[in-house]
Amino acid sequence: MKKQSFQTKVIYILTAIIVVLLIVINRMNYRDKVELRKELVETVEETKDSKAHKLSPEIPPPTLRGTIGIIIDDFGYRNDEVSDGFLNLDVHLTYAVIPGHEYSRSFGEKAVNRGYEVIVHMPFENLANKGGEESFVLSVSMDSKTIQERVQTAFNQIPTAIGMNNHQGSKASADQHVMSNVARVLKKRDLFFVDSRTTVETVAESTMVAYGVPTTRRNVFLDNEDNEGKIHSQLIELVQKSEEWGTAVGIGHVKPKTLKILQKHIPELQKKGYKFEFVSKMRH
């Protein structure tokens, strides 16, 4: 009886050991299966990533070839599909608004709200006596007080403006008296000036430098001729100057053909490595 009882205990013990061993082996197999499954998943994901990379490789950004500033003059006259078209150009451009017109203030506000930069396109006396904006034009015959008051009034009408360039002005922009008084107002208000260079005799840029007003100059007129081919060739000249000098400033106008050329060629130029920047970033 004792012998049978001992054998029974041995059997129970051996059975328990076998059960434990089976459990351990089963768990080890489960871990191996999990690890294998993980390895398989990782391999598949790596393969997917590799294939995706081959199908759509990362394209490095183009090397910067030149920085271009473009000012579009003569906003304020119109509120139509052309002015709205310029507000749909997805690029840093500077819009020059003439004071004294129906849409001067509202366009300035709309342009800034859409992410553009606004400056006052100040009427200056010209040699051809073309007239226009009589209550704002700056004339060589005016005294200092009148000139400064007119400049102040222009900025009060277009409060979104952060700088100025000259509208026409082949006579006034060559006059030291006029430009000195413009510079005094700009200096006081911490604004900048862009010399449109409507005459080779201009003293605008040099006067601004003398008064410590940040300034720059126009290098290319885009659309003196309202012809798409000519506008495009002028844009290419501006591009070439930006590549040669590092930066270049062009001036165009609110014209349908100018808009069409910019709509077509700005994206192409950006892909080639040309950067379009606000003129406020290009002053000296």
User: What pLDDT tens digit does each residue of the chain (284 aa) get?
Assistant: 445 566 666 666 766 676 666 665 566 555 555 454 555 445 545 554 554 444 455 667 789 999 999 999 999 999 999 999 999 999 999 999 999 999 999 999 999 999 999 999 999 999 877 667 889 999 999 999 999 999 999 999 999 999 999 999 999 999 999 999 999 999 999 999 999 999 999 999 999 999 999 999 999 999 999 999 999 999 999 999 999 999 999 999 999 999 999 999 999 999 999 999 999 999 99
pLDDT of residue 14: 66
| β-bridge partners, 248 | 68
Quickly name the fold that domain 66-281 has. TIM Barrel (3.20.20)
pLDDT of residue 53: 47
Greatest CA separation found in the chain? 139
Predicted pLDDT of residue 134? 87
Q: Which of 85, 134, 132 is nearest to 255 (CA)?
A: 85
> Can you read off the two tokens belonging to residue 195?
């010399």
Phi and psi for 249 in degrees, rounded to 5?
Answer: -120, 130
Q: Helix, strand, or coil here: 238?
A: helix
Residue 39 is encoded by which pair of tokens?
Answer: 């390895």
Give per-residue burial for 26-47: e unless 16+ CB within 10 Å, then b.
Answer: eeeeeeeeeeeeeeeeeeeeee
Q: Specify the amino acid at residue 226.
A: D
Q: Which two tokens stand for residue 262?
A: 């910019």
Query: What residues form DSSP beta bridges with 185?
Result: none
In the chain, what are the domain boundaries?
A: 1-58, 66-281
Compute, in degrees rounded to 10, the torsion defined by CA atoms 131, 135, 137, 139.
100
239 is written with which tokens?
């591009």
Q: What is the pLDDT of residue 138?
A: 97
Q: How far apart are CA 33 and CA 39, in angstroms?
A: 10
pLDDT at 207: 98
Assigned token pair, 98: 């003439």
Total residue length of the chain: 284
Strands (E), the chain: 66-75, 94-97, 117-124, 163-168, 192-195, 215-217, 220-221, 247-253, 274-276
- pLDDT given at position 54: 44
CA distances from 237 to 66, 241, 262 (A): 12, 6, 14
Q: For residues 123 and 169, give the distance between their C-alpha atoms in angstroms, rounded to a whole number.
A: 7
β 163-168/247-253 pair status? unpaired
pTM for the model: 0.79
- SS3 percent helix, strand, coil of the chain, rounded to 5, is 50, 15, 30
In this predicted structure, what is the pLDDT of residue 9?
64
